[in-house]
Amino acid sequence: MNIFADESLGLFHLQSKDTSYIIQLVEGYPAHVYWGARLRHDDSLAGALELRERASFSPTPVLTRPSLSLDALPQEYPQYGTSDFRRPAYQVQLADGTRISELKYAGYTITPGKPALEGLPAVYAENEAEAQTLELTLKDDYAGLTVRLLYTVFADHNAITRSVRFEHNGEAPLRLEQALSASVDFADSSYDTLHLSGAWARERHVQRRPLTPGAALSLESRRGSSSHQTNPFIALLRHGADEDQGDVYGFSLVYSGSFAATAEVEQFGQTRVSIGINPFDFSWLLEPGQSFQTPEAVLVYSGEGLGGMSRTYHRLYRTRLCRGVHRDQARPILVNNWEATYFDFDADKIATIAKAAGPLGIELFVLDDGWFGRRDKDNSSLGDWFEDRRKLPEGLADLADRVNKEGVQFGLWVEPEMVSPDSELYRKHPDWCLHAAGRRRTEGRNQLILDLSRPEVCDYLYETLSAVFFSAPIRYIKWDMNRNMTEIASAKASPERQKETAHRYMLGLYNLLERLTSRFPDILFESCSGGGGRFDPGILFYMPQTWTSDNTDAVERLAIQYGTSIVYPASSMGAHVSDVPNHQVDRITTLATRGDVAMSGNFGYELDLTKFTEAEKDLATRQIAQYKEIRTLVQQGDMYRLLSPFEGSGDTAWMFVSEDKTEAFVAYFRVLAIPNPPISRLTLKGLNPELDYVIETGAKGSNGHVHGGAEASAPADGVSSAPFQTAFDGTPLGGDRLMRIGLVVSDLRGDYASCTYRLRAVQR
């Protein structure tokens, strides 16, 4: 980790763990000249970085250098209006109505560590030795505008973070019309783009296609959240790059609101990638003396394909984005009552489910929607955060005590950002929701959105929720958000600031979450937005895990969890076993397969445990015991994707490897049975080739069977009390063989079949 600066050459060389990023000043414009594998820094570097100048059919802003046009110069933070006709990174409107700005270099600083971003989530460094930060200062003297480009490099991660701070030192107000977090110009367009897209209950499917001239890819959310439909992430992959090899460049935005990410190929074949707050329906009025901070973009380079990029994001986000006491702790195995009861429950029913949970080894019970106000359906009571004494006659404290007596902790669902028109809160404060005066208030799921851009609304939620959290021994909060924004306007905002409302909402939400998580550090917070509608790095800063999708079908979850893993670690993914036929797609899968899929995230159940048969209880007990043995591997290990559900037959496989490579967990899923199938052989990854590994297979119950050569060691009824059983007669296999020849997967019977393996290193 180093940042080298040579003002005489106008050169700035940023080195992270295995990555270099180089900026060169050209006539005062910061130009982007290199990003990729780490380069040695010496006097010969500048000579190797010559930029080709071509004016083309474009104006030339420097009279003494007629071959130079900004329309061809690769830039770090491009502007519009002074000869660059590509997408700008920012736009301003001055008091005279003009929209011309020209930022020129005015100095730099290098500081140890990484400064926090005011009011915004961001990756952090725990000490000054972990990171260095470069601040490039640019100025437009005519506008009185100072722009600071912030870059941080890390000692232990192949990541560079970027953000921008705008400072207005002029005499008249100016308006930011666009303020992106990062822009990078690549020298050519020999890339594929990769992004994650979908819909509610079908989130984060992997999409890949080659770049073409023009606006080759434009991703955005206009929904006021990062959304089910798109994710604030984009990557470029060299043609031929795959899971394990080739150059990959990732861009991930630490933000939970509307965003935009684009890849544009221009006339000379250069590619401009940019990401940040969506400029659609956004502007920000800067008065003299005021500043504006953009969200942070996390840029990751990998020379080891998509998997290498993903593991960098996983380690960084797991250890330097997520915070608090739960960051490094094992996440509890839970049961949630939503699909078991929906709104139809009382205290006795909940206590009965909790009583069934304890003997299975479940550690946490979560009471979902319907416990407050008069909430018998989804058409009332949001905002009225007090117990419904019809359902809970003795209140939350008594119910939590009853749950705790079963050896299970107590958690609670809330949806604080919403308000029902049929609620005491709305009748008292009808202007507290997002709305435009004189316009219809569009409802979604019978609810409106509270205006979190207003401090008094956030203060109400802080005090009301604090009272709830203090009222009982609550150890977990599921924080839901079940609609997108419409009529984005605030009753308290002046006309010239109405387009600030959506971003001010996010700042209000982040501030509220900061206050609550600081006041209740022992509560594990999980984010939810109709499942995965706000699965982004911004929310992980406050809540270290997210409900991955409302779709709990095991087969659908293969694609959803695989796609989510492109950026996000398994420790951030809530994954539950639900009932069959599945409530979203009506598919029937075995309890064994549902368990194997859910074990690749934060494991839990979302069904009525009191309806389990004895055989299902036995299997669930072993599933829970199995997960407790591999929990650290899944939640803190390195993930390697082996087979993609987006290719071929849909078969899926992945594995998790401990940091010291002495343990691994492998999961394989076959979607559709075929007659006389070929031998399935999994080529493993991430092991130590010099070590030998004993292989154990995950035990199945009576509705599954034992795989991997372990049949001979299983009891006659096919049921084992152990979570893992020795496979292949206990003969160790070398890591080199497992990664070159592969692991033979025994014949799986039926559709939607699965098997799991645990590997442990032994001395030769």
Does residue 716 have a pLDDT over 70?
no
Across 267-286, average pLDDT = 97
548: nearest Cα among 84, 262, 231, 191: 231
Across 680-705, average pLDDT = 83
* pLDDT, tens digit (0-9, with 9 covering 90-100), for 477-486: 999 999 999 9
Contact 745, 582 (CB under 8 A): no
Instruction: Give the Cα separation of 306 and 234 in Å (integer).
Output: 12
To the nearest 10°, report the CA torsion of 594, 597, 603, 604.
-20
Q: What is the pLDDT of residue 701?
A: 52
Name the DSSP letter for residue 585.
T
Strand 602-606, strand 191-199: pairing: unpaired
Q: Which residues contact 463 (CB under 8 A, 6 or more apart)?
A: none
Helix (H) or strand (E) holding 68: none
Helix, strand or coil, per DSSP, at residue 622: helix
Across 60-70, average pLDDT = 88
Q: Which two tokens stand for residue 179?
A: 């303020």
Does residue 49 have a pLDDT over 80?
no
Instruction: Give the Cα separation of 28 and 623 in Å (integer).
Output: 62
Sign of CA dihedral 185, 190, 191, 192: positive
Which one of the listed residues 368, 550, 596, 638 is annotated catalytic?
550
Q: Which two tokens stand for residue 71?
A: 């329309």
* pLDDT, tens digit (0-9, with 9 covering 90-100), for 213-239: 998 899 999 999 999 999 999 999 999
Does residue 361 have a pLDDT over 80?
yes
Instruction: Give the Cα separation of 227 and 260 in Å (integer).
Output: 12
Strand 573-578, strand 248-254: pairing: unpaired
67 — pLDDT class (breaks 50, 70, 90):
confident
Instruction: Give the Cα separation of 373 and 112 in Å (integer).
Output: 51
Does residue 720 have a pLDDT over 80?
no
Q: Which residues contact 687 (CB under 8 A, 6 or more apart)?
A: 657, 661, 664, 693, 735, 738, 739, 759
Residue 229 CB-half CA count within 13 A: 13
Instruction: Give the Cα separation of 126 and 319 in Å (integer).
Output: 10
Q: What is the pLDDT of residue 705?
A: 37
139: nearest Cα among 278, 28, 291: 28
Burial of 446 (0-12, 13-18, 19+ CB in 10 A): middle
Helix (H) or strand (E) holding 235: strand 233-238
Q: What is the pLDDT of residue 714?
A: 37
* pLDDT, tens digit (0-9, with 9 covering 90-100), for 150-194: 999 999 999 999 999 999 999 999 999 999 999 999 999 999 999
Question: Rounded mean pLDDT of the chain?
Answer: 94
Does residue 712 have a pLDDT over 60?
no
Burial of 438 (0-12, 13-18, 19+ CB in 10 A): exposed
Share of the chain above pLDDT 70, in %: 97
Across 123-134, average pLDDT = 97
Is 550 among the catalytic positions? yes
37: nearest Cα among 424, 300, 243, 234: 300
Length of the chain equals 764
Does residue 418 have a pLDDT over 90?
yes
Q: What is the pLDDT of residue 674?
A: 84
Across 271-297, average pLDDT = 98
Contact 655, 639 (CB under 8 A): yes
Instruction: Give the Cα separation of 174 and 618 in Å (integer).
Output: 67
Is 522 among the catalytic positions? no
Helix (H) or strand (E) holding 556: helix 554-564
Contact 527, 547 (CB under 8 A): yes
250: nearest Cα among 232, 262, 233: 233
Residues of the chain with CATH 2.60.40.1180: 640-762
Helix, strand or coil, per DSSP, at residue 352: helix
Instruction: Give the Cα separation of 358 and 409 in Å (integer).
Output: 10
Residue 440 CA to chain centroid, in angstroms?
34
Name the DSSP letter for residue 702.
T
Instruction: Give the Cα separation of 442 and 487 in Å (integer).
Output: 7
Q: Could you confirm whether domain 81-314 is CATH 2.70.98.60?
A: yes
Instruction: Give the Cα separation of 328 and 573 in Å (integer).
Output: 15
DSSP 316-379: HHHHHTS-STTSSSPPPPEEE-HHHHTT---HHHHHHHHHHHHHHT--EEEE-S-SBTT-SSTT
Helix, strand and coil content of the chain, in percent to the nearest 5, comes to: 20, 35, 45
**Total-model pTM:** 0.96
Three-state secondary structure readout of 586-602: CCCCCHHHHHHHHCCCE
Q: What is the pLDDT of residue 98?
A: 95
Beta bridge partners of 22: 13, 34
420: nearest Cα among 432, 437, 410, 407: 432
Q: Which residues contact 16 (CB under 8 A, 6 or more apart)?
A: 1, 38, 153, 154, 155, 157, 158, 159, 160
**Helices (H), ranges, 413-498:** 424-428, 455-470
* pLDDT, tens digit (0-9, with 9 covering 90-100), for 608-635: 999 999 999 999 999 999 999 999 999 9
Across 664-674, average pLDDT = 94
Taking CB atoms within 8 Å and a gap of at least 24, the contacts of 608-615 are 608/337, 608/340, 608/341, 608/353, 608/579, 609/335, 609/340, 609/353, 609/356, 609/357, 609/360, 609/362, 610/352, 610/353, 610/356, 612/356, 615/701, 615/702, 615/703, 615/719
Q: What is the pLDDT of residue 542?
A: 98
Q: What is the pLDDT of residue 87?
A: 95
Residues of the chain with CATH 2.70.98.60: 81-314
381: nearest Cα among 330, 327, 423, 421: 423
Contact 51, 26 (CB under 8 A): yes
Q: Which one-letter amino acid corresponds to residue 415?
A: E
Contact 370, 410 (CB under 8 A): no
Share of the chain above pLDDT 90, in %: 88
Sign of CA dihedral 740, 746, 750, 752: negative
CA distances from 32 to 11, 18, 20, 183, 739 (A): 10, 18, 12, 9, 39
Q: What does residue 485 show for φ and ψ, rounded to 5 degrees?
A: -80, 135
Q: Which one-letter amino acid corresponds to residue 618?
A: D
757: nearest Cα among 646, 596, 637: 596
Instruction: Give the Cα separation of 176 and 581 in Å (integer).
Output: 52
Name the DSSP letter for residue 430.
G
Helix (H) or strand (E) holding 498: none
Contact 302, 500 (CB under 8 A): no
Across 254-269, average pLDDT = 96
Q: What is the pLDDT of residue 713?
A: 34
Q: What is the pLDDT of residue 61?
A: 87
Fold of 640-762: Immunoglobulin-like (2.60.40)
Helix (H) or strand (E) holding 365: strand 364-367
Helix, strand or coil, per DSSP, at residue 712: helix
Beta bridge partners of 529: 532
Across 493-505, average pLDDT = 98
Q: Which one-letter amino acid corresponds to residue 592?
A: A
117: nearest Cα among 514, 411, 498: 514
Which one of the listed residues 71, 247, 480, 553 is annotated catalytic?
480
Residue 563 CB-half CA count within 13 A: 31
Reply yes or no: is the peptide bond before residue 66 cis, omega within 30 of 0.
Answer: no
Q: How many Cβ atoms sit within 10 Å of the Cβ of residue 470? A: 12
Does residue 764 have a pLDDT over 80?
no
